[in-house]
Structure formats: C-alpha cells, structure tokens
Structure 1
Amino acid sequence: MIGITGVTGKLGSYVANLVDKKGMVSVHLARSPERAKVYASAEIRKMVYTNTPEVVEALKGIDTLLMVSARENPERVKEHKDFLDAAKLAGVQHIVYTSFYGADEKATFTLSRDHAQTEAYIKELGFTYTFLRDNFYLDFLLDIALENGEIRGPAGSGQVSAVARKDTSRVAAEILLHAKKWKNQTLNLTGPEELSMEEIVALLSKETGNAITYVDESVEEAYESRKKWPAQTWEYDAWVSTYTAIKAGEQAGVSTDVEKVLGHPASSLLDILRDRKLIEEEHD
C-alpha cells in the first residue's frame, strides 16, 4: 500500500492526483484531513509529525511512504525523527523522502542541514529508501521575479540548476509506483541548465517584455532588506543563505535524474513561464 503525506500542500496534492490517475489505491495523510481532496481510490487519515499511538495506527498497512518534509521550523529534525520512529513501529518498509540538493550537515543553506540529518536517520532505522534531492524551485524564482520586478540577494555570479515543482512531483509519483526499482538510491533533481541570477532576469525580461533586474546585495544588506517581514532569526538565516549557497557554488551542477525517471528532459525556466502563460490565456 502507498502512503502520501502532505496531501494538502502543493507537492503532496499533485503526487496524490498523479497516483490516483494511475488507478492505484493509496492512503492520504494530512494534519487537517478536512482540507484534503477526496478520491474514491484513497483513504484519508489524520497524521502529524510525531510518535504517538494514533500516528502509528494511521501508518499501519502502508509499505511505501512518501514523506514530504515537514514545514520549516527549528524543531523539524526532531519532528522527522519522531515520525520515522512511528513509521518503523507501524511496519513501513520504504521511505521516499523529499530531501534537498547537496544535503549536508555543513551546507551553506541552513535548511539543507535538516535534510542531511533526516537522511542519516532513515538509514539508521534500516528502512529501504529513495532520497529525492530537489534543488531550489524554478517556480519560487519565477514568483519572486514576476511579483517584484527584481530578484534581490547575495548570490553574486553563482549559478543554480533550479527544478520545476511539477517535475519533482512527477518523479515522486513514479518512484512510489515502482519503489523496488529505485531502492536505496539518491536522485538529484535539477533543471536542464544552471543559471545565474543575472541570466534568469535577462531571460525573463526578454520573454515578458518587462524590465526585471537583479540586485546583488551584500549579506548585511540582505538581512536588512528582509526585516520588513517580521520573522525569527532562523528564518532570516534561511532566506539569506538561499543566495549565499548559490554564490558558494553549492546549488550548481546539472543532473539527468529527472529524465532518467520520467523519460523526458526536465522543464526549463522558460518552459515553466510559457506553461503559466497558457494557463492564464485559458482563463481569460
């Protein structure tokens, strides 16, 4: 039996829909079940990232589990470990975990360190696994650029091989359906090209006809400019280190793993932009 967490979120809901289209029976796990889309092929169960008898019960009968990483917070690693303990007690065999490209406990991007610790714990507990190490989302960079008319951050001339969210969802669904084929593998999910912030805004400016700029802030300027959004220190650290990780070269490098799983090349920045234009035109 397939289990899918995060079904009320963007990635999890998309995976749930893809699995349903394949005619596969599954269990959908959500913190707020009332918000989950209802499918005839799926049972919805309440679940939070902790280790309680209720969570163990919710996970029973699931062999292969898509574990979408918990929402960002300072206790995320503990939540992941508690949840994995519950999954082990419930008899889950295979964990498909949404990790991060270049996950390392010493990574520049602060949230990448959470993923490295979670990967290590999955192995420690003896699960078979597939780690989906997706890079930053193209969708995220596109949203920032189009909404603000600029990208602002201390990325310098560093490059990022950002990936489309739809590609990561499609890969996750395919892995769930054929878990044995991808047993104990780490897949690096990137786009088909690595781009600097200057190259991203140049492509978007040309395609949209609007002048979109890149402001290469210093680290100090980046922290200061983000103070207009009330947040905790760890959040500011994560936001700024998104860009310093790119500057450090930790988010560069192109992988063909998306194509290896899906049978076609990963979507590019312009592919995603043009998809959006088509959707907008259909709703005009």
Structure 2
Amino acid sequence: MLKNLKIGAKFNLLLLLVFIVSVLVSGAALSNVLQQKAQNEVTSQGFILMQTMNAVRNYTQKQINPLLAARLETETTFISETVPAYSASQVFTNFRANPEYQNFLYKEATLNPTNLRDKADIFETQLVEQFRKDSNKKQLVGFRTLPEGQVFYVARPLQIQEQSCLRCHSTPEQAPKSQLITYGSTNGFGWQLNEIVAAQIISVPSTEIFNNAHRSWLLIMGILVTIFVILGLLINFLIKKTVIQRIKRIEKTAQKVSTGDMSVDFTETSSDEIGGLAAAFNRMKFSLKIAMDMINEQGE
C-alpha cells in the first residue's frame, strides 16, 4: 500500500507519525514534571505548617504551662491553654478563618484522648498503629479523600517524652482537679512514658493544586500542538515548493521525451540534487537524440 503512495503522501504520513510520537512523549514527560511539581508544592506547604504547629506546641510547653500549672488545682474549670495540643489546634483554627485556608486541617489524632474532639478515626488510628509498630518511622505522607476533597497529609508520631505530661494522663488520682471537673475521669488516662499516643496530622487540600497543574498541562500541550501543526504546514509547503513540484516538472518533461518530443528540456537552474538529476536527464535526452538520428540515417 505504501508503495502506491506519492512522495507527498508518504512524507505527510511520516510527519504525522513523528508528530504523534512527539506529542505523546512530550505530553507524558510534561505531565510527570507538573504532577511532581504540584506534589512538591503541597508537601512543602504541609512541612511548613507542621513546623509552625510544633513551634506553638513548644512555646506552650516551655513558657505558658509553667506559668499556669499551679492554677490547675484551684480553678473550677480546666485551663486548656496549658495544653500544647490545645494551643496548636486553636492557632490553626484562627489560621483557617481565612477563606483561602479553610480547607487546611490540623489534628493531633489520639487513641485515648482527654478531649474527645481529638479522638482518632479509623484511618488516623491506622497511622498511629504504624508508628507504634515501627518506632524508627518518623513520618508518613500520602493522599486521603475527605468531604473537603482530596488532601495531602503529613503525619508524625507524638510520643510522651517528658514526665510532666503524665501529670494529666497517668491516673485520675494524679490529675488536676479542674481537669476532672471539666473532662471527667474516664478518658485520657493510662499513658506511659515514651509511649506513642497520637499522630500529629497536617492535611493540605491538593485538588485545586493538581487541577491547576492539569490546566497548565492542557495549555502547554495546546501551544505545543499548535506549534507542531504550524511547523508541519510550513515544512509541507517548503517540501512541496522545493522538491515535489520540481520533480513533477521533470516527470512531465520525461513523459514528453518518451513520446518522441525532443524539443523540450529538463529546465533546472538549481545545482542541488534535483538540479543534478535534471542535468543528467538532459544528457540522457541528448544521447538518446543522437542514437535516434544515427538509427534514422542507417534506415535511409
């Protein structure tokens, strides 16, 4: 079938094949680059927020708690501001008040929390259990689908590393009275030193970021396709003008010569390969004319 195609059709077929392969390869490579860029962006946001929340926790643990710890025995309600987890959660709640960040999430998902607001769900429980099984694992990252959409999460283990933390979480007898009044004596006890009791989880909405990456991919691919089409049309036009039309002229002249018309010449002013072909045909025509004249003379 290809043997029956003209040069122009063969060239266009080859050009189309190169175009398709180029678009597929460049599209796949570009998609990988943009997807990786989008993932790096959400990862960076997650790490920054995690470090910020840890700074809040550290500030509360080192500076706020010592100032208010004595009042936990005398107050009628528990002073939540002394708890690092509470401070971090409240700061993040204020952060989410900005509509731009309302789908960002922060939670210190705990298996046995004092405040049931921090109770780990099934997925979060699995994260905590992974940290418990492998104490060397310091971080888990991945994607999770929530009602807010797909989110990228960064999870780190929360381990009881200071004896002072057990004041509120070892036994109800050792807990501050205000804590028992506010939260009761059922939840948040039995924690052990060096035990991993929770997972600190930052969730960054990723749907819009990946949608932006997809839109960028479509835009860039549209530009590339347009450039390929324009280049294809331009190359096709140049090939037609510089090759195909000149070959067609040589073909028409050769047809006339083959019918005995020796008055025509293979006119080519260019010195390229096609010009050389035309010159060779002219020499062949001249030799053929001489041979025919000799035959005619001998016939007479």
TM-score range for the pair, normalised by the shorter chain length? under 0.3
Please state which structure has a larger fraction of its residues in strand.
Answer: 1
In the superposition, the TM-score normalised over structure 2's length comes to 0.21
Structure with bigger gyration radius: 2
